[in-house]
Structure 1
């Protein structure tokens, strides 16, 4: 059974800003400065074993995300 997701409003008003602030609005891989609308909050460990805890989330820039695909 899949995990339940946080409501959209909780994610975008609480979790996302907290991760960005913690990471000083920088990509954790290349240190590029990012804005709220030009970044991705990524799960370090995803899927069944991951969580939405702040310790499992990181800020990545869009250009870095493209290198992962």
Structure 2
């Protein structure tokens, strides 16, 4: 498996009560329904994953939402791509190899 949890240390940043309290609380609060909202349309499919609304380490319940696997993958992909673009934007542009002289 490339990307995702396989290459991430994100799990180590979760609080000790993530699996025993926070995650179950959010899933129950959201009635195990996906809270993905795009253009006013809420998915509503069965949710089995909990996601941070605003990325980072804010693990308060108001920053957590239940998502279905499909929408969690979309959100994570968008966030990963945005992070890669931010990193690329900081590097100076490389010169074309044909323009490099002796």
Q: TM-score, normalised by structure 1?
A: 0.71
* Corresponding position of 1:16: 23
- Equivalent-residue separation in structure 2 for 1:5 and 1:26 (angstroms): 22
Question: Please, what is the CA RMSD of the aligned residues?
Answer: 1.6
Greater fraction of residues in helix = 2
- Structure showing greater radius of gyration is 2
> What do residues 22-61 of structure 1 show as CA deviations (whole Å, max 9, x unaligned)?
1011000110023xxxx221101112xx511100000110
Contact 2:51/2:72 (8 A) holds in 1: no
Gaps of 5+ in 2: 1-12, 37-42, 78-102
Q: Which runs of 4+ in 1 moved over 3 A?
A: none
* Residue from 13, 33, 50 that aligns with 1:41: 50
Shift of 1:65: 2.1
Higher relative contact order, structure no. (Cα contacts within 8 Å, ≥ 6 residues apart): 1
